Chain A
């Protein structure tokens, strides 16, 4: 950003703070919107977040997960314990649903089709 940004122009106005302002450096404006860099997530000119690739987006999602569950304040080994417990619980849920949900759905469909059709089905035919 050139030296004509509004921050540079207004710098000389308030003489009371010249002591602090001069230590910011005379070379250029040091406010972040004019410096062009950001600490943290990259933002565009309007201030909205822009992710360059999937990895950054996933990292931000993981950060949100840390903040929402409150894990953010814990020490790393506590984070690992919580993550492994949660991951194993989710893995067990996924495995159980993978093994049992198709059978349950199949049985339920058979039950309702028996009611609609009115024909008694033998139990052996169902199991096959």
Chain B
């Protein structure tokens, strides 16, 4: 581990750039590097974005003043009259952004869905009489809205009776709940079967499943690292990883997104100087990255990170929430995409929510790691076990992907997803939108930048019966608000063409085509999808 090598490292100089850039490709289908694009918009876009936020902030101050003076009714929670002299319970200023910007436009979020979240779904219509402080349902349903926001990468969110027969059988056999934790009396045989199947799928020794994906990260990282350890995490990691890192009590250092120079500099500095005040060597160094980052659509540079990890003797924690089942020639995730041995990644984590149409998560790796987690992880010891019907859904989805159910449905879906991804991204780039991320990732963020346009985009798309997810300030940097499309294997070519057609119109209507790349002439998206 790190204690032995720190003195020898100091004595000889190490070249900073370790990775060779021209390694020949070993296999046609594997790649050595990820090709992320993060195009910058013209300068006037940033100016206008700040202008928009500034003006709304000014009006926010005005409204807060009116509420404080009493000229306007206050809709947020307030203390009782008798408690006005106490320490304030509701911190008014910290909710400034929520109160004055989010509340004005929150009809674009939390829209109630009343059908299966497949490629097409139904929404309940709701209107507001007081500018989105309260909503009421009109009683009508908006039918057949195209779903571009659900994490349904392989289309396993379906209610087809034939496919769900085994799930229904297990529900009849076991009931819906387990009523216990795994450690006490909730360890069903079906859980052990699924764990074996997950381990086979990923190509590792063993795995462990948990009932909730977020809790898999936040409750297991504290079991792996503690005080005196170092966590090196990407700056755009998910909240569950950040929460788990903070709960563990380890020191956290952040490196620039997907930037290997920044990571190497951090690792060298950590190995050389050790813990902050005492300069003792770190007990463990854990590098935390994600397979696909859900806000950018970028893919991790796995071969380079593994080379760095081996050189500096660190451990790697790979969160494949969005990439398992969605990338790779047979859906095995980023390890397959880059042709990397799964045994090189120390802790492989993933969720069943996205590509498998169920709920829950897993941690996989060597047998000793998983046995340790079985008794030391909070989620394993205290959380309720996974419901048997959900477990069976994951099993049938995984068997379908692996081909073990005897059909080629799994491979067909994976190929359909890859084709949809390539087609959609290419067409959007041709139209002139700024898109982030790697060409293979099914998460497509379209940059909208200005707060007014973000809101107008969501409303226009709903008017045209397309449901999109838009993301703004707290989840993204303030100047980079975006709409995030999640492609699915169940989107047919005509659904994508319809979406592209409407995107084109809305892009012209709202002036969203900021890209300055050279692009081909506008293809007619309606003519059955001929790629130019």
Residues of A within 8 A of B (CB): 6-7, 10, 14, 16-17, 20, 23-24, 31-34, 38-41, 43, 46-49, 60, 64, 66-75, 78, 82
Q: Which residue in chain A gives the minimum CB-CB distance to B131?
A: A75
B522 near A47: Cβ-Cβ < 8 Å: yes
* B144 surroundings in chain A (CB, below 8 A): 20, 23-24
Tell me the complex Cα distance, A41–B511, Å: 13
* B131 surroundings in chain A (CB, below 8 A): 75
* B526 surroundings in chain A (CB, below 8 A): 33-34
Tell me the complex Cα distance, A43–B524, Å: 13
B49 → chain A closest CB, angstroms: 9
Q: Evaluate whether A67 and B522 lie within 8 angstroms (CB atoms) in the complex, with A38-B505, A73-B451, A74-B59 already known.
A: no
Tell me the complex Cα distance, A34–B497, Å: 12
9 pairs from A and B in contact (CB 8 Å cutoff): A31-B494, A33-B501, A46-B522, A49-B509, A67-B452, A70-B452, A72-B456, A73-B101, A73-B104
Cβ of B165 under 8 Å from chain A: no
Tell me the complex Cα distance, A23–B522, Å: 33
Q: Which residue in chain B gives the minimum CB-CB distance to A43?
A: B505
Task: Choose one: A7, A34, A49, A70; the contact of B451 (CB below 8 Å).
Answer: A70
A72 near B492: Cβ-Cβ < 8 Å: no
* B423 surroundings in chain A (CB, below 8 A): none
Q: Which residue in chain B gives the minimum CB-CB distance to A79?
A: B59
B489 → chain A closest CB, angstroms: 12
B494 near A6: Cβ-Cβ < 8 Å: yes
Cβ of B517 under 8 Å from chain A: no
Q: Evaluate whether A41 and B51 lie within 8 angstroms (CB atoms) in the complex, with A33-B498, A70-B452 already known.
A: no
Task: Please classify the interface of chain A as helix (H, G, I), strand (E, B), loop, or mixed, using the class held by over half of its residues.
Answer: helix
A15 → chain B closest CB, angstroms: 9
B137 → chain A closest CB, angstroms: 20
Cβ of B105 under 8 Å from chain A: yes
Q: Evaluate whether A67 and B510 lie within 8 angstroms (CB atoms) in the complex, with A17-B120, A73-B105, A73-B451 already known.
A: yes
A40 near B494: Cβ-Cβ < 8 Å: no
**Contact code string B262-300 (vs A, CB < 8 Å = 1, else 0):** 000000000000000000000000000000000000000
Q: Which residue in chain B gives the minimum CB-CB distance to A82?
A: B55
A39 near B452: Cβ-Cβ < 8 Å: no
A63 → chain B closest CB, angstroms: 8
B452 near A10: Cβ-Cβ < 8 Å: no
B119 near A70: Cβ-Cβ < 8 Å: no
Task: Choose one: A17, A20, A38, A74; the contact of B104 (CB below 8 Å).
Answer: A74
A69 near B51: Cβ-Cβ < 8 Å: yes
Tell me the complex Cα distance, A76–B30, Å: 56
A69 near B463: Cβ-Cβ < 8 Å: no
**Contact code string B503-532 (vs A, CB < 8 Å = 1, else 0):** 011001111000000000010111110000
Q: Evaluate whether A7 and B494 lie within 8 angstroms (CB atoms) in the complex, with A47-B522, A69-B51, A71-B452 already known.
A: yes
* B504 surroundings in chain A (CB, below 8 A): 47
B511 → chain A closest CB, angstroms: 6
B53 near A16: Cβ-Cβ < 8 Å: no
Tell me the complex Cα distance, A37–B120, Å: 21
A77 → chain B closest CB, angstroms: 11
Task: Choose one: B51, B158, B160, B527; the contact of A68 (CB below 8 Å).
Answer: B51
